[in-house]
Amino acid sequence: MSALLKNNKPMMLTIISGGLIMIGGLFMYWDLAPVDALVFLVSFLIGGYYQGKEGITELVKDKTLNVDILMILAAIGASVIGYWLEGALLIFIFSLSGSLEVYTTNKSTDAISSLMQLTPDTALRVKEDGSTEEVSTEQLSIHDTVMVPKGSAIPIDGILLSDYALIDESAISGESIPVNKSKGSEVIGGTLNVTNAITMEVSTDYGDTLFAKIIRLVDEAQGTPSKTATLIHSIETKYVKIVLIFVPVMILFFQYGLNWGFNESFYRGMVLLTVASPCALMASASPATLSAISNGAKKGVLYKGGSFLENFSTVNAIAFDKTGTLTEGRPKVTYERFDSKGDEGKIKAAVVQMERASSHPLARAVVEYYQSVAFEEADLLSSINEVEGNGLEGFSGADHWKIGKKEFVVRDESDRLAAEALEKQKEGKTVLYISLNGALRGFVALQDIPAPGAKEVVDYFKAQGIYTIMITGDNEATGQSIGSMIGVDEVKANCLPDKKAKLILELKEKYGTIVMVGDGINDAPALANASIGIAMGAGTDLAMESADVVLVKNDLGQLPYSHQLSKRLNKIILQNVVFSISVILFLITVNVLQLINLPLGVIGHEGSTILVILNGLRLLKPLKII
């Protein structure tokens, strides 16, 4: 009950209205007229306050008619001919359905509230004398120095000034293991400082932080209705006009065509006005869409509008960027080969010592790999030089070591090791050759490996009959190598940004609805051209701005979840639409046959609205991927 009443004034008034109906019913039982009518009138006014205010405001300001006006007229009409209880009951149940819609909206905004709570309202700004002052997070400016105590949330995006920090980034990445940060590393507002107190420099304005962008995305999505909801609301005014014309015509038909008498004809007209109202139909899409958006937000998937979530289930093809999307985005050693002269440990030691002198991503990958490989490491080299664009060379007495490109290292291309290394290059791997005194002694092959779960995601979409394409700016060999590992249907290599965007348009023309998933600046044009553009949360700002959906936690596994959520959303919307229209037609028919009275019509009509809303609320529950 507390959840229903939280930030829900309409629900409080609805409960009061219901209590007054019970009291009025007792007065009616005790035959205390006109006290019972007065109590019902008060119940009528309290229960119908919010819906009546909304309906009259739209009528006066926007010159539009809505279902609220129909309900007010029906209740007034019932009261005019003495059916006070029926009129109050109609308003009560109508108010109850409206209160449940408010509850649905509140549940959806909980996603924003929970995100906002992750970033603290205040921060400890370091003053020039080294002391700290507590200020509002919004007051922080770029280049301010902030102190973050142990166990506290980082208030804003910035750069680490301390030598070391251990940061819990689970709120962003979903990873439970804290991340080691060194001086100069980026720290994100809303993440948690696990180590001792640290200092950081503010690098981003408060309104441009990652969490601020996330909150804006969720807020915009909840304010943007789905296509179905937009269509339903677009016909509301026309439908209400038809009902307002249809009801008087039917009253005249009942009185003069069927000779029912004025009271019976007017009464049946009020029942018709009630049951013909499209309340349930109007509630078929919006509550369900809001619930689904909230469900996705809890999983770290942000939709910029309900239509993107609704359309996801209709996709015929999905295109993925390679680097940083289907792959981890950084090279890793996947193969090593050395000659058989028995000094492999010495070669590895020389390799590690040389590569430590370089900041190149390939060098870092080699050092990282050998840190996890057990061998006796020793400092062999007295000097190391970097040969720009080619590799590294090291000297130890008379020994001359080299590591790098084939042209820089290899003298004899007929060498067995050189031939084997060339095969690895043909597989799309990057090869670093190693030589000692001009003789090739081995090589290391590196590759950007598939991201965790990438193959499973591709397999899921293929199982759903959706065509999968990988688009990459890399060469054909590298693209085909990764593509075969992941199992995509087609690989498009050597694609620059303009070619990616053009390719997406061609695929859209061929397949209809197409999704593009990417993370980089070069993906932005393609994301914008796709039917649905999906950006990885760890990608660039431009990619996230261009996309329609953002995977905040950088988890490809949320794509199948979103697809299933979209299918479930469309299924529930269809259920609601069919059910609501069927109830309206049924109630109109039995009213013409004089088989129901106004209370039953109210219960049937507004009860169907409540059921439709509750059916939509089911989308708040986590789904099981099938």
Q: State the catalytic residues.
A: 321
Q: Please compute the mean of the pLDDT values over residues 343-366 and round it to a whole number.
A: 87
Q: How many CA atoms lie within 13 A of 147 on its CB side?
A: 13
Q: Which residue has the higher pLDDT, 237 or 386?
A: 386
Which one of 3.40.50.1000, 3.50.30.30, 3.30.70.20, 3.30.360.10 gives the CATH number of domain 302-327+451-565?
3.40.50.1000
The confidence score (pLDDT) of residue 131 equals: 92
* Alpha-helix runs per DSSP H in 30-142: 35-47, 49-57, 67-80, 84-116
Kind and range of the H or E run holding 292: helix 286-298
Q: Which residue has the higher pLDDT, 316 or 547?
A: 316
Instruction: Locate the domains of the chain by residue range.
Output: 2-112+221-290+566-620, 122-208, 302-327+451-565, 330-448
- For residue 173, pLDDT beyond 70: no
Strands 399-404 and 301-303: unpaired
Kind and range of the H or E run holding 302: strand 301-303
201 three-state secondary structure: strand
- Of 81, 96, 103, nearest to 48 (Cα)? 96
- For residue 231, pLDDT beyond 60: yes
The confidence score (pLDDT) of residue 3 equals: 44
The confidence score (pLDDT) of residue 227 equals: 66
What's the fold here for domain 330-448? Answer: Calcium-transporting ATPase, cytoplasmic domain N (3.40.1110)
Retrieve residue 153's tokens. Answer: 């949330």
Strands 122-126 and 132-136: antiparallel
Confidence of residue 199 (pLDDT cuts 50, 70, 90): very high
Cα angle 463-465-466, degrees, rounded to a multiple of 5:
105
Question: Are 533 and 546 in contact, with CB atoms under 8 Å apart?
Answer: yes
- Of 389, 419, 383, 413, nearest to 401 (Cα)? 383
Strands (DSSP E) along 143-232, which ranges? 145-148, 158-160, 164-168, 179-182, 186-187, 192-193, 198-202
Question: Are 331 and 247 in contact, with CB atoms under 8 Å apart?
Answer: no
Strands 164-168 and 179-182: antiparallel
Q: Report the alpha-carbon distance of residue 291 to residue 283 in Å, rounded.
A: 12
- For residue 600, pLDDT beyond 90: no
Retrieve residue 467's tokens. Answer: 């065509």
0.75 cut: is pTM over it? Answer: no
- For residue 33, pLDDT beyond 80: no
Over the stretch 493-522, which tens digit does the pLDDT of each residue have?
888 777 888 899 999 999 999 999 987 666
Q: Report the alpha-carbon distance of residue 553 to residue 190 in Å, rounded.
A: 13
Q: How many CA atoms lie within 13 A of 90 on its CB side?
A: 35
Over the stretch 174-192, which tens digit does the pLDDT of each residue have?
454 577 888 998 888 888 8
The confidence score (pLDDT) of residue 7 equals: 54
- For residue 172, pLDDT beyond 70: no
- For residue 559, pLDDT beyond 60: yes
CATH number of 122-208: 2.70.150.10
The confidence score (pLDDT) of residue 106 equals: 63
The confidence score (pLDDT) of residue 488 equals: 95
Question: Are 617 and 104 in contact, with CB atoms under 8 Å apart?
Answer: yes
The confidence score (pLDDT) of residue 135 equals: 93
Neighbours of 411 (CB within 10 A): 10
Q: Which residue has the higher pLDDT, 118 or 302?
A: 302
Q: How many CA atoms lie within 13 A of 438 on its CB side?
A: 3
Q: Report the alpha-carbon distance of residue 368 to residue 485 in Å, rounded.
A: 23
Q: How many CA atoms lie within 13 A of 333 on its CB side?
A: 19
End-to-end CA, the chain: 34
Over the stretch 82-129, which tens digit does the pLDDT of each residue have?
778 877 877 887 777 677 767 666 655 555 455 555 678 899 999 989
- For residue 458, pLDDT beyond 80: yes
Q: Report the alpha-carbon distance of residue 119 to residue 154 in Å, rounded.
A: 7
Confidence of residue 588 (pLDDT cuts 50, 70, 90): very high
Residues 6+ apart with CB under 8 A from 224: 304, 305, 306, 307
Residues 6+ apart with CB under 8 A from 169: 175, 178, 179, 188, 191
The confidence score (pLDDT) of residue 57 equals: 78
Question: Are 540 and 292 in contact, with CB atoms under 8 Å apart?
Answer: no
HEC assignment per residue over 527-563: HHHCCEEEEECCCCHHHHHHCCEEECCCCCCHHHHHH
**Residue 157, phi then psi, degrees to nearest 5:** -65, 140
Which strands form 179-182's sheet, in the order they lie side by side?
A: 179-182, 164-168, 192-193
Name the percent of the chain in helix, strand, coil, to the closest 5: 55, 20, 25
Q: Which residue has the higher pLDDT, 65 or 89?
A: 89
b/e burial code for range 588-598 (CB count within 10 A of at least 16 → b): bebbeeeebeb
Over the stretch 362-405, which tens digit does the pLDDT of each residue have?
888 899 888 866 556 667 788 999 887 788 999 988 899 999 98
The confidence score (pLDDT) of residue 4 equals: 47
Mean pLDDT of the chain: 83
Q: Report the alpha-carbon distance of residue 6 to residue 596 in Å, rounded.
A: 36
- For residue 463, pLDDT beyond 60: yes
* Sole residue written with tokens 């060098």: 363
